[in-house]
Amino acid sequence: MSLSAVDASTDGRVLRRERNRAEIVDALLALLREGHIEVSAAAIAERAKLSERSIFRYFDDLDDLYRTVCAVQLERESKHATIDSFSRGSTEDKIAHFVEQRVRLFTSIGNIGRASRVFAHRNTVIAKELRRARVLLRRQIADHFADEIAALPSAERSHAATIIDSLCNFESFSIMRSDYDMTIASITTTLTTGIRKVLS
């Protein structure tokens, strides 16, 4: 066999491996989006149209798969985590941009966000990613509203970001959507009013 043929064969195997890994990741993400909480290796393999053994050929274990899924999902959702005109504009503009970003982000996450919180208590990979995401989103609040928080009485400053974070996190959004059956417009008004009161 010629060197070029060996290279072509190697390239083909690498491409097939990457394609199959992507199929497995997309299969798990699709199942989570549909609201499936307990996702077995067999269900993932069936959705990906691959053998169950393939999952453990391309991933060390399910933790490795979930770690990869978290990384892929984080990359895909990163565009939704950006606040327009970050830390610029009037307080009302900043509140509007912030609320729009959180609603957009949490709507996009949907069932995957709910499933990840169910898995977190028994999957250290997901728990770690959730903690990291929460820290980043809370820091975003402190940075975006830095001027407004600095203008508050000293006794209120340390609590302001925490209150906004408690009001504007995924869990609160999910409760308003699923349990209270609120529309996006109603949630937007609620969050806007709440943040305005904290910063006034």
Whether 27 has a pLDDT exceeding 70, the answer reads yes
pLDDT digits (tens, 9 = 90+) for 97-109: 999 999 999 998 8
Please check whether residues 110 and 191 belong to one and the same domain: yes
pLDDT digits (tens, 9 = 90+) for 58-102: 999 888 888 888 778 877 877 777 887 787 899 999 999 999 999
Please check whether residues 94 and 183 belong to one and the same domain: yes
> 72 in a domain, yes or no?
no
CB contact at 8 A, 88 and 142: no
Calculate the CA 176 to chain-centre distance: 18
Question: Quick one: pLDDT band at residue 10, thresholds 50, 70, 90?
Answer: low
Please check whether residues 194 and 95 belong to one and the same domain: yes
> 67 in a domain, yes or no?
no
> 147 in a domain, yes or no?
yes
The residue to which tokens 């609603």 are assigned: 103
Our count of domains for the chain comes to 2
The model's pTM = 0.78
CB contact at 8 A, 10 and 54: no
Domain of residue 183: give its range.
79-199
Please check whether residues 49 and 98 belong to one and the same domain: no
CB contact at 8 A, 127 and 103: no
Please check whether residues 114 and 186 belong to one and the same domain: yes
